[in-house]
Structure 1
Amino acid sequence: MDAVILCAGKGTRLLPLTENRPKPMLPVGGKPILEYIINKVENLVDNIYLVVKYKKDMIIDYFRDHPKITFVEQGAIDGTGYALLSARNYLGDEFLVINGDIIFEDDLSGILSYENAMGLVEVENPENFGVVLLDREGNVVEIEEKPKNPKSNLINGGVYKFQSDVLDILEDLEPSERGEVELTDAIKELIKERRIKGVKLKGYWNDIGRPWDLLDSNRHILKGIKREIKGDIGKNVVIEGNVIVEEGAVIKHNSVIEGPAVIKSGAVVGPLAYIRPYTVLMENTFVGNSSEIKNSIVMRGTKIPHLSYVGDSIIGENCNFGCNTITANLRFDDKPVKVNIKGKVVESVRKLGVIMGDNVKTGVQVSFMPGVKVGSNSWIGPNLLVDRDVEPNTFIYKIDEKRVKRL
């Protein structure tokens, strides 16, 4: 048995977080999404094939020493079907196929018991996914992508078990209107012959397609951690609940950490800092005097030195916050925060702060309105209220179209 994990895509709905990294390498609970999937399957299979393309070196460098992993580069044609087909020369008679951007709990025993099977999930918003219909015997009889009027609340969970003949089907497919070879088109051929079962996945499942999905999975992972304090702890530090402080981290005097939370190696917290639940501070971050972080992911090398608040946010690598940088995370009317995703304004969740790329610098007294996205390598001048998205490589020193410069 082999496993193929599809991790070649960019993840445009997660911009600016994916400007400098592939979506499967986004951190959840202190580790890349992809690492959780690999941990799930490594004892079930003999070989793991990672299909890579966008920012492939980041994936290869991180997992190169894993004894079961082989890297396969996707060719010029896009699509999940062509991604699987790229690994054809390596695969045996049967194999697992898993999307590289999901967090799930199921042990896969149900899927492995069939020749061809698709993992299914019950959701409240099936219109945003591929909706699946089953017959009485559990065979998949229909799959429809993002229908306006869903016939079911069962969706495609992005976990599959196939026999090798699915590769022959893929070989004969023509690219879709989007110019992609789609795995779902091959599944539709299996459906015609009642040759693929639908298996409900047990436990937590999340398709990380939007920034608030990342925060949701981060909370889920942190709920399962156990307390482990290995770092250097200063005087009068209060650590409550399940908190991981890795060796090499420093918690300075009079700081408070409320779990669940993860403080990675090289991070420095305090003095007088407040780390609230569901926060992850990645390696070499700094949260200083009187700064407060809540329900957020702060990536490597970012510095939030003093008098700042970051709530319900995702902050990229190597950012630097000027004194009193504030992220608003709740609307006055208490309605879901609106976010621009690929040019379309959508409702997200009740609380959402800023979504920030890498290498962003803010001046003193900068405030961000809920749901604002800030592209990588941007500078935000002092005393600004940022109430709109900021493109990458931009210097803003007044919120006025005439006062925006490209770096």
Structure 2
Amino acid sequence: MKGIILAGGTGTRLHPATLVVNKQLLPVYDKPMVYYPLSTLMLAGIREILIVSSPDCLPHYRTLFGDGSGLGLSITYAEQPRPEGLPQAFTIGRDWLAGAPAMLVLGDNIFFGNGLGPMLRRAVASVEAGGGATVFSYRVEDPRRYGVIAFDDQGRAVSIEEKPERPRSSYAITGLYLFDGTVCDHAATLTPSPRGELEITDLARRYMDAGTLHVEAMGRGFAWLDTGTHDSLLEAAEFVRTIQHRQGIQIACLEEIAYLQGFISREQAEARGRALAKTAYGRAILTAIEDTPAPLPLGERRKGDRRQG
């Protein structure tokens, strides 16, 4: 499984804040927005990652992450000349994917919750073993703002609509998607909607019609935040601040995740933590090293170890 972060777009709803900087590089409380979707891919156990953004913004991402080796990752970059819909990520990344299944996460989406890592890894294992696609649903107050998925009495997806005037359910599709190795072929045959863009709901509907779409519900205890407006950006920052201050943890601390997942060594994590030791972010890395024995390779567990990772 490979991962794609779609971090393009013009961010017009955040103007003037995004007139000179890419939206996904804006801070959400104490770290760049892009840290959050990257942490989601890392929690899923994904180490090969493609960041798709506009040509003028890619140099900033290269400065921020380099080749990803400092996090035990392999990060590649691809240009999105102009935004033409979410499925465009698969046409841009077709050669890079080379037939591999993919997890796509939107660069302005934040996911948080106890058990998120295990949920993601189960979804990855399911697509890798059986093909098809998995989307994540979340109950929302105003589903008209989202792609909406409806179910029959057996809990099977029966309809997917983009921003419907009369939603058939209150469940939105979040900005996190898993597709098997045929996704690029499907994406290449999509046609633009009346909005003039390729729609991710049309892509998911292909799998639904074939009976190979799985829906994973994010219920109570999970948070899904979209940071596309000034208000939602502030709400996300307040959420992150509240959790971190009350629980004494760091959300989307990449080096901490990399260490606990076994992507980087204790020495690598410690060096990064000491470099950032004046911040709560850096101290979280050092605390992870002190509180946790050297991790085993991803997927292995010591006898009696019940940590969820």
| TM-score normalized with structure 2 length | 0.69
- Counterpart position of 1:192: 209
Return the alpha-carbon distance in structure 1 between the equivalents of residues 153 and 63 of structure 2: 46
After superposition, residues 240-259 of structure 1 pair within 5 angstroms as none
The share of aligned pairs that are identical, in percent, is 29
Q: Which has the higher helix share?
A: 2
Q: CA deviation at 1:191?
A: 1.7
Query: Who is 2:65 aligned against?
Result: 63
The within-5 A match list for 1:7-156 is 7-42=7-42, 44-53=45-54, 55-67=57-69, 68-76=74-82, 78-91=84-97, 92-105=99-112, 106-107=116-117, 108-115=120-127, 116-156=133-173
Post-superposition CA distance 1:329-357 (Å, at most 9, x none)? xxxxxxxxxxxxxxxxxxxxxxxxxxxxx
How far apart in 1 are the matches of 2:232 and 2:163? 18
CA 1:40/1:174 → structure 2, altered by over 3 Å: closer, same or farther?
Answer: closer
CA distance in 1, matches of 2:103, 2:193: 24
Give unmatched runs, 5+ long, in structure 1: 229-245, 250-261, 265-407
Q: Report what 1:2 is aligned to.
A: 2
Q: Give the secondary-structure state (helix, strand or coil) at the position aligned to 2:105.
A: strand
Contact kept, 8 Å, 1:122 with 1:154, in 2: the verdict is: yes
Does the CA contact (< 8 Å) of 1:21 and 1:58 recur in 2? no
- 1:56 to partner: Cα distance: 2.8
Q: Residue 8 of structure 1: CA displacement?
A: 1.2
Does the 8 Å contact 2:6/2:107 carry over to 1?
Answer: yes
- The alpha-carbon deviation at position 205 of structure 1 amounts to 0.8
Superposed, 1:194-273 pairs within 5 Å as 194-202=211-219, 203-225=222-244
Structure number with higher relative contact order (C-alpha < 8 Å, ≥ 6 residues apart): 2
Distance 1:263 1:190, change over 3 A: closer
Residue 26 of structure 1, CA deviation: 1.4
- CA deviations on 1:128-174 (whole Å, 9 max, x unpaired) are 11111123454332111222221111001111111011211111122
Structure number, greater radius of gyration? 1
TM-aligned CA deviation for residue 72 of structure 1 = 1.3
Give every structure 1 segment of 4 or more consecutive aligned residues whose post-TM-superposition deviation is greater than 6 Å: 246-249
1:163 pairs, out of 177, 180, 190, with 180
**Counterparts in 2 of 1:137 and 1:94: CA distance versus 1, 3 Å:** farther
What is the rounded CA distance, in whole Å, between the counterparts of 2:187 and 2:50 in structure 1?
18
Distance 2:207 2:176 in 1: 16
Deviation for aligned residue 1:177: 3.0
Are 1:25 and 1:34, in contact at CA under 8 Å, matched by a contact in 2? yes
Letter in 2 for 1:120: S
SS at match of 1:4: strand
Distance in 1 between residues matched to 2:154 and 2:183, nearest whole Å: 22
Cα pair 1:131 1:153 within 8 Å, conserved: yes
Between Structure 1 and Structure 2, the one with more strand by share is: 1
Residues of 1 paired with 2:122 and 2:87: CA distance?
Answer: 23
Give the direction of change, closer, same or farther, for the CA distance of 1:263–1:120 in structure 2 (3 Å limit).
closer
The answer on whether the counterparts of 2:58 and 2:77 sit within 8 Å (CA) in structure 1 is no
Specify the code of the residue in structure 1 equivalent to 2:51.
Answer: L
Taking the aligned partners of 2:178 and 2:153, their CA distance within structure 1 comes to: 20
The AA in structure 1 aligned to 2:212 is R
Query: What amino acid is the match of 1:128?
Result: R
1:139 and 1:85, CA in 2 relative to 1: closer, same or farther beyond 3 A?
Answer: farther
Aligned equivalents of 1:31, 1:199: Cα separation in 2: 28
1:225 shift after superposition: 2.4
Following the alignment from structure 1 to structure 2, what is the Cα–Cα distance between the partners of residues 83 and 209? Answer: 19
* Distance in 1, Cα, partners of 2:121 & 2:145: 27
CA, structure 1 residues 32+74, in 2 after alignment: closer, same or farther (shift >3 Å)? same
Rounded Cα–Cα distance in structure 2 between residues aligned with 1:149 and 1:177: 18
Range with bigger deviation, 101-110 or 199-208:
101-110
Shift of 1:76: 4.8
CA-based RMSD:
2.5
Are the structure 2 counterparts of residues 73 and 127 from structure 1 closer, same or farther at C-alpha, using a change threshold of 3 Å?
A: same
Tell me if structure 1 keeps the 8 A contact 2:6–2:51. yes
Measured in 2, the distance between the counterparts of 1:138 and 1:48 equals 32
Q: What code does the residue aligned with 1:160 have?
A: Y
Normalising by structure 1, what TM-score? Answer: 0.53
Q: Which amino acid aligns with 1:101?
A: D
* 2-structure distance, mates of 1:247, 1:98: 30
Structure 2 unpaired stretches of 5+ = 128-132, 250-275, 283-309
